[in-house]
C-alpha cells in the first residue's frame, strides 16, 4: 500500500481562485487577429501572460510543486519500453497531423497572426495542463483518499481527468460546428490519456505543457474547426488510449508493490 507524506498546510481554498484564473485566462486569448489591431493583440498577450504566471504559481503550491511522488518512479524494463513507445506514438501523431509544416507557417505569418497563434498555443498548453493534469489530478486524488480507494488509483485518475479534459472542449460548441467539436472531444480524450500517463512517469507537468504547446502551435489554430474522417481519427488515436491503459496498469501495480511514497494531495 502507498505511503502518504503529510503536507505542511491545507491549500484547498486556492481551488476557487485557480478556477477563476483559468476562466479569466480563456477570455484573454487573442482569438481574432483579423478583427483586433496589433496593439490590441499585444495587450491581450501581456494580460494573458500575467494571469498565466499567477495561475501556474498557485497550481504548483496546491500540487506539491507538480510532483505526485516524493521521487520519480523507478520503472522496470517493461514499463520503460511502454513509456518509450507512448512517447514515439505521440511523435507519430505530431508528424501525421502536419504540425511541423504548420508550425513553421506560423513564423511566416504577419505579426498579429504570429502572436495570436503562439499565445493561444501557450495558453492552451499551460492553462489546460496545469489545470487538468495539475489541479484536477490533485482533486481526484483527494476524492479517492476520502472514499479510501486503494486499487487502480492511477488508472482511475487518468481516465477521470482525461474525460474532464475532453469535456472542456464542449465550450467550443458556442461558435464551432457540432460534429467538429464532437471529433475534438474524442481525440482530446486520447491525447489526455497520453499526457496524464507521461505526467505520472515524469513526475512533472512542465514537459507536458511544452508538448501541448508544440502540438497546438499551428497556423490554423485561429481558424474554425474542420470536420474530418471519423474512421481515420479513431484508427489514429485509439492505439494511444490502449498503450496508456497498459502502462497505467503496470504503474499501479508497481506503486503498490514498491510502496512508493505518494505525496499527500
Tell me, yes or no, if the pTM score tops 0.75.
Answer: yes
Mean pLDDT to the nearest integer, 243-259: 93
Return the DSSP state at 9: S
Residue with the larger pLDDT of the pair 188 and 257: 188
187's CB contacts (< 8 A; 6+ apart) are 233, 236, 237
How far, in Å, are 118, 153, 162 from residue 246 at the CA level?
A: 34, 14, 16
Model confidence at 1, pLDDT cuts 50, 70, 90, reads very low
State the pLDDT at residue 3.
42
Model confidence at 94, pLDDT cuts 50, 70, 90, reads very high
Evaluate whether 254 touches 79 at the Cβ level (below 8 Å).
yes
Mean pLDDT to the nearest integer, 152-177: 95
State the pLDDT at residue 7.
47
Mean pLDDT, all residues of the chain = 93
Residue 9 pLDDT exceeds 70: no
State the pLDDT at residue 10.
52
pLDDT 10s digits, 39-57: 999 999 999 999 999 999 9
- State the cell numbers at 62: 496546491
Of 145-149, 247-251, 257-261, least confident by mean pLDDT is: 257-261
Helix (H, G, I), strand (E, B) or coil at 154: helix
Mean pLDDT to the nearest integer, 99-120: 95
Give me the helix-helix angle, 153-168 and 230-258, nearest 10°.
Answer: 150
Mean pLDDT to the nearest integer, 58-78: 94
CB-CB neighbours of 77 under 10 Å: 7
98's CB contacts (< 8 A; 6+ apart) are none
pLDDT 10s digits, 185-235: 999 999 999 999 999 999 999 999 999 999 999 999 988 899 999 999 999
State the pLDDT at residue 12.
58
Could you tell me which of 158, 120, 139, 154 has the C-alpha nearest to residue 18?
Answer: 139
Residue 23 pLDDT exceeds 70: yes
Could you tell me which of 149, 166, 162 has the C-alpha nearest to residue 252?
Answer: 149
Strands (E), the chain: 3-5, 261-263
Residue with the larger pLDDT of the pair 5 and 207: 207
Helix (H, G, I), strand (E, B) or coil at 76: coil
State the pLDDT at residue 261.
87
Amino acid at each position: 500500500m502507498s505511503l502518504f507524506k503529510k503536507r505542511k498546510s491545507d491549500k484547498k481554498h486556492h481551488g476557487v481562485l485557480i478556477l477563476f484564473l483559468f476562466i479569466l485566462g480563456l477570455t484573454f486569448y487573442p482569438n481574432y487577429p483579423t478583427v483586433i489591431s496589433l496593439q490590441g493583440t499585444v495587450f491581450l498577450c501581456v494580460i494573458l501572460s500575467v494571469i498565466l504566471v499567477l495561475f501556474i504559481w498557485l497550481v504548483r503550491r496546491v500540487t506539491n510543486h507538480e510532483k505526485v511522488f516524493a521521487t520519480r518512479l523507478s520503472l522496470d524494463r517493461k514499463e520503460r519500453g511502454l513509456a518509450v513507445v507512448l512517447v514515439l506514438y505521440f511523435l507519430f501523431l505530431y508528424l501525421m497531423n502536419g504540425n511541423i509544416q504548420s508550425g513553421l507557417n506560423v513564423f511566416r505569418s504577419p505579426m498579429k497572426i504570429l502572436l495570436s497563434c503562439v499565445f493561444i498555443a501557450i495558453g492552451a498548453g499551460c492553462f489546460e495542463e496545469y489545470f487538468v493534469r495539475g489541479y484536477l489530478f490533485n482533486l481526484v486524488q483527494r476524492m479517492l483518499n476520502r472514499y479510501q480507494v486503494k486499487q487502480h488509483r492511477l488508472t482511475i485518475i487518468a481516465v477521470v481527468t482525461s474525460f474532464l479534459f475532453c469535456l472542456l472542449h464542449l465550450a467550443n460548441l458556442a461558435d464551432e460546428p457540432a460534429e467538429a467539436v464532437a471529433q475534438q472531444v474524442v481525440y482530446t480524450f486520447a491525447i489526455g490519456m497520453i499526457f496524464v500517463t507521461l505526467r505520472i512517469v515524469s513526475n512533472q507537468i512542465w514537459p507536458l505543457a511544452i508538448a501541448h504547446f508544440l502540438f497546438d502551435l499551428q497556423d490554423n489554430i485561429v481558424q474554425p474547426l474542420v470536420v474530418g474522417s471519423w474512421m481515420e481519427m479513431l484508427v489514429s488515436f485509439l492505439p494511444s488510449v490502449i498503450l496508456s491503459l497498459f502502462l497505467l496498469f503496470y504503474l499501479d501495480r508497481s506503486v503498490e508493490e514498491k510502496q512508493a511514497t505518494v505525496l499527500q494531495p
